[in-house]
């Protein structure tokens, strides 16, 4: 039960995007199309989960003064591996999102979780935290991408769903709409959480 709570924590109560509100720049950048968001989710989860596990495994040997440089080395290593592997085996896909994959290095969610959780907790708990945070990040960016692509391009993951005469609102796939949709989602979640609290 306690273990499940660690995973659930990342999905809603401490959702990295909607509640903690960190790592927002890449959220705005990759959510214009569902395909980009999906691929970013994979790269992000790969790097976050493995980095948390490794940081947790070596935490006893990390001197306090240089923990941040060490986190960065670990994260950069996994990011580069993710980039090399996707370049070699999914070239078309990599071409579309290589910039975002490389930017995972400086994603503050990952360094934040390494510092706040993996550095202080065991390997298994860190693994669960990584999984929970990854799901939390993924569902939010995919939800934003579905809304933006639907209204901005009339498609979902490249498949036409809007009627033929639908005039796409270009602004939805430009960066400003990333903030707009994100703001609406944050508001919606807060409203729901408040309502639940009031019921109690």
Partner 1 sequence: MNKITKLAVVLGIIGAIAGGVLAGVYQITAPVIQAQNLKELNKGLSEVFPGDYKFEKFSGTLKSPAPDVTFNSIYLVKKDGKLVGMIIDATSPGDQAPIEMLVGVNRNGTINGVKILKSLETPGLGANASNPKYYVNKAKKITFLGQFKGKKITDPFIPKKDIIAITGATITSTAVSKAVKAAGVAAYDYMSKEGGS
Under the rule (CB under 8 A), what is the footprint of partner 1? 32-33, 36, 58, 61-63, 65-66, 69-70, 73-74, 76-77, 80-81, 84-85, 87-89, 91, 95, 99, 152-153, 170, 173-174
CB of 70 to partner 1, least distance (A): 6
Residue whose CB is less far from partner 1, 122 or 175: 175
Report the alpha-carbon angle 179-186-15, nearest 5: 110
Query: CB 179: neighbour CB atoms within 10 A?
Result: 12
Q: How far apart are CA 14 and CA 30, in angstroms?
A: 21
CB of 61 to partner 1, least distance (A): 7
CB of 120 to partner 1, least distance (A): 19
Residue whose CB is less far from partner 1, 11 or 49: 49
Q: How far apart are CA 21 and CA 64, in angstroms?
A: 26
| 193: Cβ contacts below 8 Å, ≥ 6 apart | none
Residue whose CB is less far from partner 1, 4 or 81: 81
The residue ranges of DSSP E strands in the chain, in sequence order, are 155-156, 159-160
CB of 109 to partner 1, least distance (A): 21
Are the beta carbons of 100 and 30 closer than 8 angstroms?
yes
Residue whose CB is less far from partner 1, 91 or 199: 91
């Amino acid at each position: 039960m306690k273990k499940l709570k660690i995973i659930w924590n990342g999905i809603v109560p401490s959702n990295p995007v909607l509640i903690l509100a960190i790592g927002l720049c890449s959220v705005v950048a990759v959510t214009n199309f569902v395909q980009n968001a999906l691929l970013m989710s994979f790269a992000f989860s790969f790097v976050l989960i493995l980095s948390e596990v490794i940081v947790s495994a070596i935490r006893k040997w990390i001197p306090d003064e240089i923990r941040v440089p060490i986190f960065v080395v670990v994260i950069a290593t996994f990011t580069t591996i993710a980039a090399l592997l996707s370049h070699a085996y999914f070239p078309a896909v990599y071409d579309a999102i290589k910039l975002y994959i490389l930017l995972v290095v400086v994603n503050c969610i990952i360094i934040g979780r390494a510092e706040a959780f993996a550095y202080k907790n065991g390997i298994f708990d860190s693994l669960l935290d990584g999984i929970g945070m990854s799901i939390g990040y993924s569902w939010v960016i995919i939800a934003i991408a579905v809304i933006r692509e639907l209204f901005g391009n009339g498609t979902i993951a490249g498949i036409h769903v809007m009627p033929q005469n639908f005039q796409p609102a270009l602004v939805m796939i430009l960066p400003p709409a990333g903030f707009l949709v994100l703001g609406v989602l944050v508001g919606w979640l807060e409203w729901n959480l408040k309502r639940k609290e009031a019921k109690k």
